[in-house]
Amino acid sequence: MSDSKEVVKGGEGMERHLGLSTAIALGVGTTIGSGIFTSVGAVAGAAGTPLLTILAFLIGGLIMIPQNLIYAEYSTAYSEDGGQFVYFREAGWPFMAMFFVWSCWWASDPVGIAIMGLTVANYLAFFTGWSSVTVSVVACLLIIFFTWLHMCHKHAGAKWQNFITAFKVVPFLLLVLAGLFFINGGNLEAAPVSSSAAAHGGLLSAMIAGIAATTWSYDGMQTCVTMGGEVKNPKKNMPIALIGTVFVVTLLYVLLSVSAVGLVDIDTLAASDAPVAEAFSHIPGIGSQAGNIAAILAVIVVTGSLSSLIMFQARGEMKAAQEGYWWRSWGKIDPKYDSPVISMLWQSGFALVLVWATSIQDLVAIFTFICLLRNALLFCAWFPLQKKNNYHPTFKAPGGPVMAILAIVPSLILMVGELSGIISGEVPLFSFNPISAGILVVISAVPFYLHWKRVNADIIEAAEARRNAEIKEEVAEEAAVQQ
């Protein structure tokens, strides 16, 4: 990761080759992943009753609407690769722009690829009985294959993403609809799970806990903004893709929750390590084959998510490098493949290392707090962006500031939940916990931010000059139109 003095052009980009269907496939394909196979049980246990479980998935999806509406506005104002990095940059918060990419790199991007690769391999091992070493090898091979596909054959990769998303959603939906025909009405009226707040009259607490448990299942809906510079006709397609993703995923999850709590009693569902398989085992004709069907479905679903993560994530580091806030070489776009080869190689290379690490899932949990913090700040950026003379979104979020606040508040509420252990004194501040880990990430980002500001001053200045020239050109064009 040498800071070579070879300057990467601040405006370097790739062709717009992604249609509306691929933009939607990115969001749906990323969001519907391994989390849904376990979160149904977690949500049932937290919410405590069948009705609250269904409402938790419904409200969890509705919460995403304000967030994606704000993303839709951002994406039509700045149709560039890099998504969140660009929005923070334009708001005048360069440290937060760099920090967003920094936290993604250490907390979610390579880690997510590693977890998805291992998840697919583990479900394949359900049929083959592979050893843990073989599972890790297969996970690595999957990561290498999809990296090669999206790095060297990106048009074929986009077509593959469309196919795998449709292929994984359709059978999932058919299985859910089949389950709806065999619902046991008595299960919908079952008593609350004894350990839940609902069992002790705390319906509001149970509702909040249930919604919080859906967080990871709904994560990833804004995926297409990271590839905003490669989406065709972004002014039209980005809002449709972002809003469409919310409704597709929410509909599927609500139907799944209705089917699950109707097929099996709430206590069994909450206690199950494989709640989806447990629920589908109660469909006549499936029975003992439910585990096999769920495993096959999981392989298809998570393979789509793995492919999606590898396809889009490296654009964040690429954009940061092109703007001077990352290692320079990562911003290069290969002229032959028209893709960020170096950024993708580093991302997948780190994921390959993490495949062989232990407790990878814990890494994601550790950074929950900092992810909520950066998301809340990202939606706060809506307010300073309104004053920017180059902020001309063709799509405006209904309600303006009200919608921005509705996007911010859920993250703040969940952040308070993360802080509750610290506030109550149950978790020491200086122990290894999400808060202390988040502080560590922030502190570690500062010296790198200052370093890159110094050694990449030429790139930063060139990027700022380019943007200022673009702003002047836009102002001149508007003046000419008005005359």
Nearby residues of 359 by Cβ (< 8 Å), 6 or more positions away: none
The pLDDT of residue 207 is: 81
Residue 36 scores a pLDDT above 80: no
Query: Would you state the structure tokens that stand for residue 462, as one six-digit string?
Result: 């060139």
Is the CB of residue 157 less than 8 Å from the CB of residue 22?
no
pLDDT band, very low/low/confident/very high, at 425 (cuts 50, 70, 90):
low
pLDDT band, very low/low/confident/very high, at 218 (cuts 50, 70, 90):
confident
Q: How far apart are CA 211 and CA 334, in angstroms?
A: 43
**Is residue 7 a part of any domain in this protein?**
no
**Is residue 8 a part of any domain in this protein?**
no
pLDDT digits (tens, 9 = 90+) for 111-148: 889 988 988 998 898 888 899 899 999 999 999 999 99
pLDDT above 70 as % of the chain: 86
Q: Which amino acid is at 280?
A: F
> Structural domain tally of the chain?
1
Q: What is the CATH number of the domain that holds 135?
A: 1.20.1740.10
Residue 236 scores a pLDDT above 90: yes
Is the CB of residue 308 less than 8 Å from the CB of residue 26?
yes
pTM: 0.85
The pLDDT of residue 395 is: 95
Residue 71 scores a pLDDT above 70: yes
**Is residue 483 a part of any domain in this protein?**
no
Q: How far apart are CA 182 and CA 477, in angstroms?
A: 62
**Is residue 244 a part of any domain in this protein?**
yes
pLDDT band, very low/low/confident/very high, at 397 (cuts 50, 70, 90):
very high
pLDDT band, very low/low/confident/very high, at 6 (cuts 50, 70, 90):
very low
Q: What is the 3-state secondary structure (H, E, C) of the chain?
A: CCCCCCCCCCCCCCCCCECHHHHHHHHHHHHCCCCHHHHHHHHHHHHCCHHHHHHHHHHHHHHHHHHHHHHHHHHHHCCCECCHHHHHHHCCCHHHHHHHHHHHHHHCHHHHHHHHHHHHHHHHHHHHCCCHHHHHHHHHHHHHHHHHHHHHCHHHHHHHHHHHHHHHHHHHHHHHHHHHCCCCHHHHCCCCCCCCHHHHCCHHHHHHHHHHHCHHHHCCCCHHHHEHHHECCHHHHHHHHHHHHHHHHHHHHHHHHHHHHHHCCHHHHHHCCCHHHHHHCCCCCCHHHHHHHHHHHHHHHHHHHHHHHHHHCHHHHHHHHHCCCCCHHHHCCECCCCECHHHHHHHHHHHHHHHCCCCHHHHHHHCHHHHHHHHHHHHHCHHHHCCCCCCCCCCCCCCCHHHHHHHHHHHHHHHHHHHHHHHHCCCCCCCCCHHHHHHHHHHHHHHHHHHHHHHCHHHHHHHHHHHHHHHHHHHHHHHHHHC
Query: Would you state the structure tokens that stand for residue 249, as one six-digit string?
Result: 């995923």
Q: How far apart are CA 200 and CA 356, in angstroms?
A: 43
The pLDDT of residue 434 is: 59
Domain containing 124 equals 20-475
* Angle between helices 314-322 and 94-107 in degrees, nearest 10: 150
The pLDDT of residue 65 is: 94
pLDDT digits (tens, 9 = 90+) for 342-366: 999 999 999 999 998 754 445 555 5
The pLDDT of residue 284 is: 81
**Is residue 331 a part of any domain in this protein?**
yes
pLDDT band, very low/low/confident/very high, at 471 (cuts 50, 70, 90):
confident
**Is residue 14 a part of any domain in this protein?**
no
Of the candidates 237, 261, 278, the residue with the CA atom closest to the CA atom of residue 76: 237
Nearby residues of 437 by Cβ (< 8 Å), 6 or more positions away: 366, 367, 369, 370
CA distances from 276 to 139, 173, 202, 255 (A): 23, 13, 27, 12
Stretch 176-195: mean pLDDT: 72
pLDDT digits (tens, 9 = 90+) for 251-308: 999 998 898 888 888 888 877 767 777 787 788 877 777 778 878 888 898 899 999 9
**Is residue 15 a part of any domain in this protein?**
no
pLDDT band, very low/low/confident/very high, at 59 (cuts 50, 70, 90):
very high
pLDDT band, very low/low/confident/very high, at 11 (cuts 50, 70, 90):
very low
As to burial, measured by CB atoms within 10 angstroms (0-12 exposed, 13-18 middle, 19+ buried), residue 64 is buried
The pLDDT of residue 201 is: 54
Mean pLDDT, rounded, of the chain: 84
**Is residue 345 a part of any domain in this protein?**
yes
